[in-house]
Structure 1
Amino acid sequence: MSAVDFSPGGIEKASLHFLALVQGENLHGDAPQEVPCCGDLLVFSGLDIVQERGRLPVLALDFEVGQKHLEIDFFGHIAPAKLFRYVMTENGAPLAEYFFCKPGALHQSIIGAEMESLFPAVVDARVVCSSLFLCRSCCGLGGVSPDDLKKYFSKMKSISRFEWILENYAKSGCDMDETWSATVTGCSGADIKLTANLVNGVVREVLF
């Protein structure tokens, strides 16, 4: 597998797929193993939070693919708009680096925009979708984090605008199907019950 075989879109899909994977791995008590990406398999090897004074915290996900190492970075947690960059190395030597956005900016994700378009017009789709991915990140990543990072994800979850509940999770091979629900505040100020179905970490349907 060469560095050029990895596409930005493939990296984004693999990251969202990985977030779906860890939801189920937490439920079954097993460590996450691998997620498909660009025709290969990424084997999860760990995560870390990189914090520098005056900058947003960066979530670094580490994967192995053959003899190569792949780091995928997000601002704070896994969400389409939070994707920052990926770096591939081999024996410590850089092979490829791609920046999805500038520091402090939001990634203009096509996948994210498609998901937001599924939410009803009576809610702020970007806010609600962001809340869903924040909650899912904290639930999923908190369970596979080193002990010193569990507090970080617990604190992050508390700042979510809405509280999402995992209603159903089904796994078939590498495919994950999730159903999450929440009571959100609509644009008119009224409470609205939403149910979101995700397949491999991507929202496919929203009911209300």
Structure 2
Amino acid sequence: MNKTMHTGGWLRANKGFLMFLLLFGVFRTAVADWNPIPSASMRPNLLEGDVVFVNRLAFNVKVPLTDIVLQHTGEPQRGDIVTFSSPRDGTRLIKRIVALPGDTVEMRDERLIINGREARYERQDTVGDSMAAAGQLQAQRLSERSTASPARQIQLLPQVPARRSFAPVTVPAGQYMMLGDNRDNSADSRYFGFVPRALLIGKAERILVSADILDHWQPRLQRFGMKLQ
């Protein structure tokens, strides 16, 4: 009896804090979220140690903690950076949408072709980069401009084996093709297939904070608040 009264008293005394935790949880699972970048698959635009703001209402309203879509709120576009659950194992991933439902897409020697139109590429720079399985590498950075989407930077690693070409495929209704910007070091739709709309979590809109995980977590202040393109 005393234990029950004690518990009830604690709940009453802390109901405001508990309500805050509940609302905060709903906010993160239904409205907005942040996503730490754990891998190199989106270099050079996203770096390990970046934390990005994710708008969960950009495309869908979902039942919290589920993939049940209640309402569509916007249409994903080519070039959007999005978070989603992997159709292979449910892991949360972050990639770029390169093709929409109904698009016919192929890749020839790293060059994207969407609906018969080849993306335009401009060589920008060669930089040193590292990859756990291959050590220090030379990365080629290029500007890529594809059908109806703005130019973005991508990165190629010519020294490593990668899936650089695939035959034309048509994206099914309600699904999307995802690629990492670090094309030769990204597990994406070339490996796990198209992503159904119900698995989209939200649109990554900007970098909240960033720290260099290889340099004692030193803040990268120039990246704070950076809008994603």
TM superposition score normalised by structure 2:
0.25
TM superposition score normalised by structure 1:
0.27
Which structure shows the bigger proportion of residues in helix conformation? 1
The structure, 1 or 2, with the larger RCO (C-alpha pairs under 8 Å, 6+ apart) is 2
Bigger Rg over Cα: 2
